[in-house]
Structure 1
Amino acid sequence: MVIRQRKSTCTNPSISAILSRVSKQILWSFYMPYTVWGAFDKFRKDCIDLSDTSTKTAIASRDYLFDQIKALAQNNNSFPRLSGGYLKFGSFARKTKIQPLDDIDILVLLNGKGTVSSISPSDPFTYWLKINDENASLATFPDAYGYVDSNKVMYRIRDLLKTISNYSKAEIHKKLNAVTLKLTSYPWVFDIVPAVPINDGQGGIGYYLIPNGLGKWIRTDPRKDSDIITSFNTTHNSKFIPTVRLLKYWNARTHKPRLMSYYIETLAIKVFQYATPINEYHSAVKYFFDNCPLYLNISCPDPKGLGPNLDLNIDQQAKQKVSDAMREATGFIYNASIASNVQDEKTAIYWWGRVFGSSFPSYGS
């Protein structure tokens, strides 16, 4: 007699339910931080890094906006003539933007033909644009001395941007150096910065002149910023930019004076210039706080070499408060390291929470 063995199946509802609950618990525990590494990973995803969806949507809306600006320039003679396209600008362009996505900067390139730039005799970082041709595109924005008034350029752009649909409001930025355009469908705004390309004398563009908020112009070049941070990110195993975002989150906390976003990025560049490549985010954050106070207490030149020192308007008292906060963070990180060395991840995560605040995940949360 042949005895056939019956195949085992999970048809029992109680067994299926148990297996389902177990699998869900295993899956859920995968996302729950039981290690410092896991806590940092969850923290970055939940609180710091922009989602792929919002990034793609923002890029598409930026491209759509420039199409509208091009149409305005083509169909309205009073709009400043354009010179090609636009340049990505600011922290969103450098991929150092943190949540929430609240603003996107773009340089709109204007046709500067018929103008000549010169340095102000009273300020080496202020530039003038002399109108040499009455038919120049920018000749319709003169000041009392025959120079292009950057404020007039911005006000004209603002007035015409108000006519574009899908945008609720256009106004001059509080720093008077950009036109801020608010959207009806998304939470972020666009800061539109008019820029005049300046020839380098060799057939290329040496830099760009943008409004200084006082009717004159200052130099910038987002290409250089992009090259610098991209190079650092490559050197540091694609972990430099995410580390900068972590540091910018810490900088934005309200327990101390806030440094300018671009300044904190530049400090990170200085700190990691001669460091070994980054492998772990928590180690990189520790390295930054260990070394940054030294760089914070000396002058910080513009890394592009085009503008004044980034710390020009930061007094020593404010620097000292930030430096003290960094040293406090170093103490918390030391405690976290001691706990990690004895495999006490719960305590280590607690101390990292003291560094980044209540939004940092708690153990097993």
Structure 2
Amino acid sequence: MSDSVKSCFDVFMRDSVNLDPERTTTARASRDWLVHKIENLADNGEIPPLYNGTNHLFFGSFARNTKIRPLDDIDIMIVFDAQGCTTDDVTKITRKTYPIYVNNPHAKLLPDYCDGNVLNSRKMIETIKRELGAIPSYSKADIHRNQEAVTLQLSSYEWNYDIVPCFYTTTGFFIIPDGKGSWKGTDPRIDLNRVTQANQRVNGALLPAIRLMKYWKKEHWRDEVSSYLFENLMIDWANSLYSFPMTYPQLVKSALDGLSSLIMRDYYDPKGFQGSINDLDLYDRRRLAIMASQDASEASTAIQYEQNYMTEAAINKWFKMFGNEFPRHGK
């Protein structure tokens, strides 16, 4: 029975926000099995050879442990061997494209995906889609809506995989499809290190905070703010604190105060490739900032109710803020 604010938040986090631990374990095993199948495809010459170093990277919110329910997608980058391919320049530059030139006449399969001698990322994705779609246990392979990945649908589990082909550069980052046939830069290791360091600084409290506030975003800001931008705003909020909030109510109040300010700013990709990732105009930024500020005020009222032993009134405030999945008093 949820008879305190703390117990309501505990139940909410366990049953509605955090991924189910058993499903998470199953998903990781399934993800590893898929990587093994992709390695087999490369070994059998169905797809180009994989990079001899790290041939895959797990990225996205599932890899960073910031994913909330439902577990609907898992992201994997598959690193291919460039086989002597070149590009114009592998300097990290904002919004730069990196055309890949296949100059090695002995390169395996890559010449098949070229326009002239320029590697077309769409053609490469089409081949990966075809080969992955033939693997038993997967019901369908399709091209992701952004044209940058192959989405592999499972027949036995509730999640899909977004599989992104990539190459590793001599300057230490990765190039992935840009959705238009060419290639762009990225490095998900930077995102993982950034959230890991911020989480360690607050003794592991940031990851559950991000997940809780992502649920708030789902209810209020919805898809107007990308999950990636939101995570970065939460990291900046946490890094700005002298001390991390000790309770869920204090955390929500503090985070909303921070978000109401942070959403107003341009926010530049920490990896250095995309420029500003806050593409909202000034009107929408102000509207979302007001929304967060108003809920921060509601959170303050809920905290006061709890301090005055008005537990049911406090829980009702949180119920209105987080929606129907938040436990009611005594239920």
After TM superposition, give the deviation of residue 263 of structure 1 in Å: 0.6
Q: 2: distance between equivalents of 1:123 and 1:239? A: 32
Distance 1:293 1:72, change over 3 A: same
Question: Which of 42, 63, 80 is 1:93 aligned to?
Answer: 63
Write the letter of the residue equivalent to 2:301. N
Could you say which residue in structure 1 is the equivalent of 2:232?
266
Could you say which residue in structure 2 is the equivalent of 1:81?
49
Could you say which residue in structure 2 is the equivalent of 1:280?
247
Could you say which residue in structure 1 is the equivalent of 2:98?
127
After TM superposition, give the deviation of residue 331 of structure 1 in Å: 1.9
Write the letter of the residue equivalent to 1:356. F
Q: 2: distance between equivalents of 1:60 and 1:230? A: 22
Q: 1: distance between equivalents of 2:142 and 2:124? A: 13
Any idea what SS the aligned residue of 1:218 has? strand
Could you say which residue in structure 1 is the equivalent of 2:156?
185
Does structure 1 residue 108 correspond to structure 2 residue 71? no
Write the letter of the residue equivalent to 1:35. S
After TM superposition, give the deviation of residue 123 of structure 1 in Å: 7.3
**Higher mean Cα deviation, 60-69 or 83-92?**
83-92
Question: Which of 272, 296, 299 is 1:330 aligned to?
Answer: 296
Q: 2: distance between equivalents of 1:127 and 1:281? A: 45
Q: 2: distance between equivalents of 1:164 and 1:298? A: 45
Report if the CA contact (8 A) 2:98-2:182 is conserved.
Answer: yes
After TM superposition, give the deviation of residue 44 of structure 1 in Å: 0.4
Q: 1: distance between equivalents of 2:74 and 2:222? A: 26
Report if the CA contact (8 A) 2:12-2:325 is conserved.
Answer: yes
Write the letter of the residue equivalent to 1:160. E
Does structure 1 residue 139 correspond to structure 2 residue 111? yes
Q: 2: distance between equivalents of 1:157 and 1:263? A: 29
Does structure 1 residue 321 correspond to structure 2 residue 287? yes
Report if the CA contact (8 A) 2:133-2:140 is conserved.
Answer: yes
Q: 2: distance between equivalents of 1:50 and 1:118? A: 43
1:2-46 Cα shifts (integer Å, max 9, x gaps) = xxxxxxxxxxxxxxxxxxxxxxxxxxxxxx222211111110011
Report if the CA contact (8 A) 1:119-1:126 is conserved.
Answer: no
Report if the CA contact (8 A) 2:252-2:296 is conserved.
Answer: no
Write the letter of the residue equivalent to 1:45. R
Q: Which segments of 5 or more consecutive residues in structure 2 lack a partner in the other structure?
A: none
Could you say which residue in structure 2 is the equivalent of 1:203?
none
After TM superposition, give the deviation of residue 257 of structure 1 in Å: 5.4
Distance 1:233 1:123, change over 3 A: closer
Could you say which residue in structure 2 is the equivalent of 1:171?
142
Could you say which residue in structure 2 is the equivalent of 1:310?
277
Report if the CA contact (8 A) 2:94-2:274 is conserved.
Answer: no
Does structure 1 residue 44 correspond to structure 2 residue 13? yes
Write the letter of the residue equivalent to 1:38. S
Any idea what SS the aligned residue of 2:99 has? strand
After TM superposition, give the deviation of residue 189 of structure 1 in Å: 0.4
Q: 2: distance between equivalents of 1:55 and 1:256? A: 24
Report if the CA contact (8 A) 1:237-1:278 is conserved.
Answer: no
Q: 2: distance between equivalents of 1:128 and 1:278? A: 47
Q: Which segments of 5 or more consecutive residues in structure 1 lack a partner in the other structure?
A: 1-31, 201-205
Report if the CA contact (8 A) 2:94-2:275 is conserved.
Answer: no
Could you say which residue in structure 1 is the equivalent of 2:258?
291
1:78-119 Cα shifts (integer Å, max 9, x gaps) = 412111431111000000000010000001111113112335
Q: 1: distance between equivalents of 2:284 and 2:325? A: 25
Distance 1:352 1:252, change over 3 A: same
Write the letter of the residue equivalent to 1:305. G
Any idea what SS the aligned residue of 2:74 has? strand
**Higher mean Cα deviation, 170-179 or 213-222?**
213-222
Report if the CA contact (8 A) 1:98-1:248 is conserved.
Answer: yes
Identity %: 34
Could you say which residue in structure 2 is the equivalent of 1:241?
207
After TM superposition, give the deviation of residue 278 of structure 1 in Å: 4.0
Report if the CA contact (8 A) 2:129-2:141 is conserved.
Answer: yes
Write the letter of the residue equivalent to 2:102. I
- Considering Cα pairs closer than 8 Å and 6+ residues apart, tell me whether 1 or 2 has the greater RCO: 2
Distance 1:166 1:91, change over 3 A: same
Bigger fraction of residues in strand: 1
Corresponding residue pairs, total: 326
Could you say which residue in structure 1 is the equivalent of 2:40?
71
Q: 1: distance between equivalents of 2:308 and 2:213? A: 26
1:198-231 Cα shifts (integer Å, max 9, x gaps) = 122xxxxx11111111111111112111111111
Report if the CA contact (8 A) 1:90-1:104 is conserved.
Answer: yes
- When Rg is computed on C-alpha atoms for both structures, the one with the higher figure is 1
Report if the CA contact (8 A) 1:257-1:322 is conserved.
Answer: no
Could you say which residue in structure 1 is the equivalent of 2:167?
196
Q: 1: distance between equivalents of 2:227 and 2:89? A: 27
